[in-house]
Copies of this chain bind each other. A is one copy, B any other.
Amino acid sequence: MSEPVVVDAMGGDHGPVETVAGAVAARRELGIPVVLVGRAGDIRAELDRHGAVAEIGVVHAEDVVPMTERGAGAFSSATTSLTVGCDLVRRGSASAFVSAGSTGAVVSCAIRGIGRATGVLRPALAIALPSVTGGATVLIDAGATSDPTPEMIAQFALLGVSYAQLVLGVADPSVGLLSIGSEPGKGNRLTRRAGELLPGLPLRFHGNVEGHDVLAGTVDVIVTDGFTGNVVLKNVEGSVRAALTLVARSGVAGPEELREVARRYDPETHGGAALLGLSGTVVVAHGSSRAATIARACAVAHDLAEGGVVTRFGDHLTAEPVR
């Protein structure tokens, strides 16, 4: 049996009520081994409500990183649920870490607390955005590494392919490089150089894609640097919200009728983001996650850890510049 997924009981807008319920659902309904990290008293009280005290292990962490914390202050204490959770992964006592805490804080803690996998230059954040065609497109890097080299972007592409295979079940994912023109050679220096490396990798390279391709289903994986990726991720969210606000204001449809589209296209609601390239997998669920979403995040984390998203490309994921 594999090591358990460690779930941050203190993260998210709804605290232990939903995170503990999510961990219980992951264990009972999906058969995923889990442990909970956070304030042991609070967690046991919730586990007791589910009659699950004997079923799920608890690791105590005294402090809580507030949801408003976006990175810099996440290390003010070594005994937060984030730092203790990441430490369990680093020591091999857990296969993966799931948190609905602030994305910035979780990513910062994970990079510092878990460390990179062998051969991986920098980690990347992957998120599956639903496309209008019905499938999904993996956006990577959505914000972990804001100043990557071209070689790092090439590795992100491999990590994105692995994610699409393991999580979305796409056998041979196509990969597009986010740029500002579809022709090869278009883009800034970083993107142009990455565009020279990608055709040499063992993946199905589609070529350049553009901003309007992100939700169009043009490719299975869109690779970019973490700065552009994070701007795009938040821009998708804001643009969809703006369009639906205008539709509601025009009187054509009410906010209630549009809620399903809004929910589907809130990118963070859909699937959470996976931090790939570390020695253990980390999945960041949305802050507003309820139990079912936490359970699903555990399943994604488990699949990624079991599938070996980081290591399965062997020689291609090398710390040497990709040729």
A residues neighboring B (CB under 8 Å): 70-72, 104, 131-132, 143, 146-147, 178-181, 183, 186-189, 191, 210-216, 224-228, 230-247, 250, 252-253, 257-258, 260-261, 264-265
Contacts and interface: CB of A to CB of B under 8 A. Distances in A.
A240 to B, nearest CB: 4
- Dominant SS at the A interface? helix
Contacts of A238: 211-216
Contacts of A226: 180, 188
Nearest to A145: B188
Given A146-B188, A211-B238, 19 more contacts: A132-B246, A147-B189, A180-B227, A212-B234, A212-B241, A213-B238, A215-B239, A224-B231, A231-B231, A232-B232, A240-B243, A242-B265, A243-B243, A246-B261, A246-B264, A246-B265, A250-B257, A250-B261, A252-B258
Contacts of A186: 70
A215 B243 CA distance: 9
Contacts of A233: 211
Contacts of A260: 250
Contacts of A252: 252-253, 257-258
